[in-house]
Structure 1
Amino acid sequence: MKLAFVIPAYNEEALIGKCVESVLAEVKRSGRDVDVVVVNNNSTDRTREIAASFAGARVVDEPQKGLVSARDGGFRATTAELVANIDGDTIVPPGWIDTVFEEFDKDPRLVCLSGPYVYYDLNQGQRALVGMFYGLTTLIYWLNRYVLRVGSVVQGGNFVLKRDAWIRAGGFNREIKFYGEDTDVAVRLAKQGNVKFTHRLKMKTSGRRLAEEGIIRTGLTYTLNFFWVTFAGKPATHEHTDIRPGGR
């Protein structure tokens, strides 16, 4: 199986370099043939220029604004059987690719793999609060997947899906702009096979949204939209705070 990284980026000149650098370092360490695609989503800063400066990564442009549109544009730009969806402010830790292939190799019915974030720029107290939310997330994962059987849990910015299963599920829903995009993936792919959430697959990321909006407020918003998409099929929240120049 070949793996592709899809990295949506809108006005990420401050962080996209670290992200792509970490991806390429992990690809080199793994020794695998991996496609790395950065999706420039109408950036007005140096995002495209910085991403294009890395040998081993290619940049595609997605003119339709929005996170889901950018993920879809990247998905369509590669033919890899496994597609890793991360974000422009994430940092891939060593061993991440190994974990992905180990999990897919041992479970033929696995169609999506995801794991939690590690917020590298939050203080100890903030990280402890985030840990409480992930404890709740894990409980919800077990409840939804094994008891209610209504879906699973996927962390946006840290999930890998099987191309053929995602095509069968209908692909990305561009009507969803931000909140609920990962739950939509979880619910629809759970009908195609196994969707696993594991703490083995950690991803480093910036906590800038949590710091700006507040951890509790942000956690409650994500939780609300998780349940809304799971049981109503669409997100409850349609607007989100702009956290970078130009906004998204």
Structure 2
Amino acid sequence: MPQAHGTRPAGPSLSVVIPVLDDAAALAECLALLARQTRPADEVIVVDNGCSDSSLQVALAAGARVVAEPRRGIPAAAAAGYDAAAGEVIVRCDADTRPPEDWLARISAAFGEDPGLDALTGPGRFYDLPRPVAWLASAAYSSGYRFGAGAALAGVPVWGSNFAIRRTAWQRCAAGIHRHRAGIHDDLDLSFQLAPWANVRFDRQLRVGAAGRMFSDAGAFARRFGWAFATLKLNWAVQSAGQRWLERATGRRPALRRT
């Protein structure tokens, strides 16, 4: 979304990337919230992953730039958006993400104040679950992902509904991601490419709302766990968790097993 009269806010330029597949109603709400940011995005990129509903019309009506990625899957769609982004910092969310008004301002300030920051991520709250369940599910998921995935990759994992990465960091690790592999978590896969060399920070104040779709039925929950194990297996085949922690502790890269 270009700034009025050719002006742009101070700090690094921001490109927001949203992969979408038939999620018009949620996308419309997300784009409306992005339009109300105290620090507007320099561009919003909606990646069309084969939409058959009105998602593209919603995106264009909101002033977003549409990028097509015909290969199905969030890994391919997200990577296509990152490749197309012109901003110094690439911000990622999902169509059902609900960012507060200061979300982009916090991201811009963090990267502007720390030139060595490669990526930033934060937690979320499931807004469509009953209140007591939402609080428990949000805390359990955020803590479980942060510490469980962190132990697996020897670093701080980024979460796809709420993270930002410096474009130079993306360019450094883009070749290593598995963008054409279906059935994996794109954010966890990216986290493996970032760790342990990148400076990734978790900011507990960088909160967003997120849909609790994974809790909708047992099948959805099991499917996400299956993707997690597939992502771990894929990346551990290249470098095990032990090798990663050794590299982080010693600064020396052990011999890797290539697949």
Partner of 1:113: 120
* Residue of structure 1 in register with 2:35 after alignment: 24
- Please tell me whether the aligned partners of residues 68 and 173 of structure 1 are also in contact (alpha carbons under 8 angstroms): yes
1:204 matched to 2:209? The reply is yes
The Cα shift of 1:48 comes to 0.8
| Paired residue secondary structure (2:85) | coil
Count how many residue pairs are aligned between Structure 1 and Structure 2. Answer: 226
**Counterparts of 1:223 and 1:65, CA distance in 2:** 18
* Match in the other structure for 1:43: 51
Aligned partner letter, 2:81: G
SS in 1 for 2:25: coil
Residue 2 (structure 1) aligned to one of 7, 13, 24: 13
Instruction: Tell me which residue corresponds to 1:240.
Output: none
Deviation at 1:114, TM superposition (A): 0.9
Counterpart of 1:201, as a letter, is: L
| 1:164 and 2:189 aligned | no
Bigger radius of gyration: 2
Measured after TM superposition, the shift of residue 60 of structure 1 is: 2.1
Gaps of 5+ in 2: 1-11, 240-259
What is the rounded CA distance, in whole Å, between the counterparts of 1:74 and 1:104 in structure 2?
20
Name the CA shift for 1:210/1:120 in 2 (closer, same or farther; >3 Å).
same
Task: Give the RMSD, CA atoms, in angstroms.
Answer: 2.6
Q: What TM-score do the two structures reach when normalised by structure 1?
A: 0.79
Contact kept, 8 Å, 1:109 with 1:193, in 2: the verdict is: no
Over residues 13-58 of structure 1, what are the superposed CA-to-partner deviations in whole Å (9 max), with x where a residue is unaligned? 22110011111211xx22x551111111111111111211113x22
Higher relative contact order (CA 8 A, sep 6+): 1
1:94 aligns with 2:101: yes
Q: Which amino acid aligns with 2:141?
A: F
The answer on whether the counterparts of 1:180 and 1:229 sit within 8 Å (CA) in structure 2 is no
Deviation at 1:218, TM superposition (A): 6.5
Match of 2:191 among 177, 186, 189: 186
Question: Which amino acid letter does the alignment assign opposite residue 124 of structure 1?
Answer: R
CA contact (8 A) 2:121 2:206 kept: yes
Distance in 2, matches of 1:225 and 1:139, equals 18
Amino acid at match of 1:199: R
CA contact (8 A) 1:90 1:206 kept: yes
Change (3 A) 1:118 1:3: same
Relative to structure 1, the CA distance from residue 168 to residue 138 in structure 2 (aligned partners, 3 Å threshold; closer, same or farther) is: closer
CA contact (8 A) 2:127 2:210 kept: yes
What letter corresponds to residue 120 of structure 2 in structure 1? Answer: L
Tell me, yes or no, if structure 1 residue 126 matches structure 2 residue 133. Answer: yes
Structure 1 pair 85–225 and aligned structure 2 pair: CA distance change class (3 A): same
More divergent stretch after superposition (123-132 vs 216-225): 216-225
Are the counterparts in 2 of residues 5 and 37 from structure 1 also a CA contact under 8 Å? Answer: yes
Q: State the Cα distance separating 1:206 from its structure 2 match.
A: 1.4
Instruction: Give the 3 Å change call, closer, same or farther, for CA 54–204 of structure 1 in structure 2.
Output: same
Q: 1:42 to 1:136 in 2, by over 3 A?
A: closer
1:150–1:230 Cα contact (<8 Å) kept: no
Instruction: Give SS of 2:90's match.
Output: strand
Does the 8 A contact of 1:183 with 1:230 survive in 2?
Answer: no
Answer yes or no: is the 8 Å Cα contact 2:41–2:104 preserved in 1.
no
Work out whether residues 8 and 40 of structure 1, in 8 Å CA contact, stay in contact via their aligned partners in 2.
yes
What's the secondary structure of 1:90's corresponding residue? coil
Partners of 1:209 and 1:216 in 2: CA distance: 5
Matched residues in 2 for 1:179 and 1:225: separation?
A: 6
| 5+ residue gaps, structure 1 | 235-248
- SS of 1:176's equivalent in the other structure is coil
